[in-house]
Amino acid sequence: MLLRLRQPVQVDELRWEVENGDKPQLDAQAHPHANFSPHLESKPSQSLLRELSPGSSPDLSPDQGSDSGSDSEPDDAPVVPGPGFVLVSFDGDHVATETPQLRRNPLRMTEYLQLGLEEAFFLVYSLGCLSVHLQQDPLSITELWRQCMALRPDFVSSYAAYHHFRSRGWVPKGGSGAKYGVDMLLYRKGPPFYHASYSVVVEKVDERFEGSTLRPFSWRSLAALSRITANVSKELLLCYVIHPADLSEAELDSPACLSKLKVQDVMVSRWVSSKERAEQEDI
């Protein structure tokens, strides 16, 4: 029921002592124009804020209810529930055999870090700063190599090209190359600092530059790709990963085969007659 007041009521007239819990005595004769509902009853002790019942839990953030379920038995393989938690393993002889413990991450994670196969293997194989686990078991370098080959049949050539450019100071990114029809883009220092400078197409060839190409080009498709690359202010690179004739399929199951591979780059650019004529005149 609504309370309608045709005439303003002074605040002092409706004031009562909340501490004593006395109900206000409203005199209808003092305000003849006021229409009070007989079903309206004031309750000073009732809070305006609704208290949550014990069963309700509208806030499902990790900060609430972190101690719930502490009496349940821990699983053998802890599962990270979300980005707010991390698995922590302690160093030391007395706790070396303990299972990694689930702890709250003190740092706020605003985005996910997703690594490609080439990026992950480079951090494991070349820098040794990453450990990849499969069902809570760490993978060796050879096991990780075989897992990547099972996921990507062209992983050997792709990683050889990635390692080639990464060791020369470039930051290759494979996922962003799909927008421009290439295998990877080369950044100086990284995407947060500069735009990509080169678009790279990776090809697997033998010592005579023959073999089944991963992406057969016609002159028309190559010209179209060159024009697209030029329109986005980049240069096109053809990266040839040369496999020697004496390299067997069994040797490809180990990253030791990388020492036998050779990488050669070829830059593709459009020939513009007016531009070439101007450059010749400057010389």
pLDDT at 183: 92
Q: How many CB atoms lie within 10 A of CB 48?
A: 4
In a domain, 48, yes or no: no
By C-alpha distance, which of 114, 102, 108, 112 is closest to 61? 108
* Pairing between β-strand 133-134 and β-strand 170-173 as defined by DSSP bridges: unpaired
With beta carbons less than 8 A apart as the criterion, state whether 180 and 234 touch: yes
pLDDT at 56: 39
187 is catalytic: yes
Q: How many domains does the chain have?
A: 1
> What would the two tokens of residue 88 be?
């922590």
In a domain, 161, yes or no: yes
In a domain, 211, yes or no: yes
By C-alpha distance, which of 62, 75, 70, 73 is closest to 104? 62
pLDDT at 112: 75
Residue 265 CA to residue 238 CA, distance in Å, equals 6
pLDDT at 164: 96
pLDDT at 202: 93
In a domain, 61, yes or no: no
pLDDT at 78: 56
By C-alpha distance, which of 90, 161, 86 is closest to 121? 161
pLDDT at 141: 95
pLDDT at 18: 41
In a domain, 30, yes or no: no
By C-alpha distance, which of 156, 143, 195 is closest to 173? 195
> What would the two tokens of residue 268 be?
């593709």
Residue 8 CA to residue 5 CA, distance in Å, equals 7
CATH number, domain containing residue 253: 3.40.1350.10
Q: Which helix or strand (DSSP H or E) is residue 30 part of?
A: none
Q: Which position among 23, 189, 195, 260 bears the catalytic label?
A: 195
> What would the two tokens of residue 89 be?
């393993």
* Pairing between β-strand 198-205 and β-strand 235-242 as defined by DSSP bridges: parallel
In a domain, 33, yes or no: no
Domain containing 172 equals 2-8+114-282
pLDDT at 192: 87
> What would the two tokens of residue 135 be?
């069902």
pLDDT at 53: 38
Q: Which position among 163, 164, 234, 243 bears the catalytic label?
A: 234
DSSP letter string, 212-265: --SS---HHHHHHHHHHHHHTT-EEEEEEEEPPTT--TTGGGSGGGGGG-EEEE
In a domain, 100, yes or no: no
pLDDT at 86: 72
In a domain, 235, yes or no: yes
Close Cβ partners of 230 (under 8 Å, ≥ 6 residues apart) = 270
pTM of structure? 0.60
Cα dihedral 91, 92, 98, 103 in deg (nearest 10): -40
Q: Which position among 187, 204, 240, 243 bears the catalytic label?
A: 187
Close Cβ partners of 85 (under 8 Å, ≥ 6 residues apart) = 62, 102, 103, 104, 105
Return per-residue pLDDT of the chain as tens, 283 residues: 334 444 444 444 444 444 445 544 444 444 444 443 444 344 443 333 333 333 433 343 344 444 444 444 444 555 656 666 777 776 665 555 567 777 777 777 667 788 999 999 999 999 999 999 988 889 999 999 999 999 998 999 999 999 999 999 999 998 777 888 899 999 998 888 999 999 999 998 888 776 666 677 888 888 889 899 989 999 999 999 999 988 888 999 999 999 999 999 999 887 777 777 777 777 6
